[in-house]
Amino acid sequence: MKRASSYNDVVKHNVLTGFNRFVYLALIAIAINIVDSIQSGYAEYYDVYVLSVTSLLLVGSLVLHSRGFKLLAKVISLMAFNIAFFLISLELGIRSAVYLYYFPLILVYIYLFRTEGRKKYVLLFSGITILFLLLSLILADDNFQFPADRLHEAKRTFYLSFFLSFTLTVYYFILIYNYQERLYSRILVLENRRRKQELRSVIEKQETDNQNIVYALRDNINQTLAAIKMYQGEAMQQQHNKALLEKSYMLTDEAMVMFRNCVCSYTPL
């Protein structure tokens, strides 16, 4: 329960849960790439088709996310990115012997690690991402469109680009993960500090209310006792009630003193 409470504290700050912002930025990037591909003058529109379908899937994930299907929206967006990058990476690898920088592995941890709070989802999605990455590597290696005398050099270039891409992915993941951990800890510290301040305010208010209640009770009792003493003073003027009233008057004085001492001992002056 403590872990769930800490997770809720982080989510309330809306710092680590920018799924909508991430998808909007991705759609902007896709739109820029589509426009660039169309205006480049090449007859190949492979990337345009792939990115167009991906954008539709991302829009669908936004709709699902807004209707409360948050996990399903994340799964669809993740699969859309993986499939798009798999197809584009495979095409580039076969025709150009280069490997596209494969960053969905980072996105899995940034946008799913804290937002779901369950490591099994992270491991599952990471495994899927790595599977797509390796598939594009294996399939590209088996289908290079290069002359035989240049095939060895093309494969060496391809594997070098793959190694650099994967190394950069891991490097940036470590940087972002460490930053996220520090940010997560900082948010928890701020949340605990805010809760302590709220608790202190509640305690102070409760103490003030208790003091006011005690003061009001003291004043009412004092007024009642003072009225009793006044009536007793008037009754003492009658001789047949004098002895009894003197005793009552003395006991009332003692009660007032004892009550005053009791109130002073439990409340600050």
pLDDT tens-place string over residues 184-193: 778 778 888 8
User: What was the pLDDT predicted at 14?
Assistant: 47
84 and 17 within one domain? yes
* pLDDT for 237: 64
Residues 80 and 176 in one domain: yes
Count of the separate structural domains present in the chain: 2
For residues 173 and 233, state if they share a domain.
no
Q: Nearest to residue 259, comparing CAs of 225, 210, 212? A: 225
Residue 120 covered by a domain: yes
For residues 262 and 189, state if they share a domain.
no
| Structural domain of 47 | 2-196
Q: Where are the alpha helices (DSSP H) in the chain?
A: 2-12, 19-39, 46-66, 70-96, 104-116, 119-142, 148-235, 242-266
Q: Kindly report which listed range (127-131, 147-151, 161-165, 204-208) carries the lowest average pLDDT score.
A: 147-151
Q: Tell which of 141, 174, 196 closes a domain.
A: 196
Other beta carbons less than 10 A from residue 55's beta carbon: 19
pLDDT in tens, 27-57: 888 888 788 777 776 556 777 888 888 889 9
This model's pTM is above 0.85: no
Q: What is the pLDDT of residues 237-248, one digit of tens each?
A: 666 666 656 666
Whether residue 235 lies inside any domain: the answer is yes
In the chain, the N- to C-terminal Cα span, in Å, equals 43
Residue 202, in any domain of the structure? no
- Whether residues 156 and 248 fall in one domain: no
Q: Is residue 161 located within the same domain as residue 233?
A: no
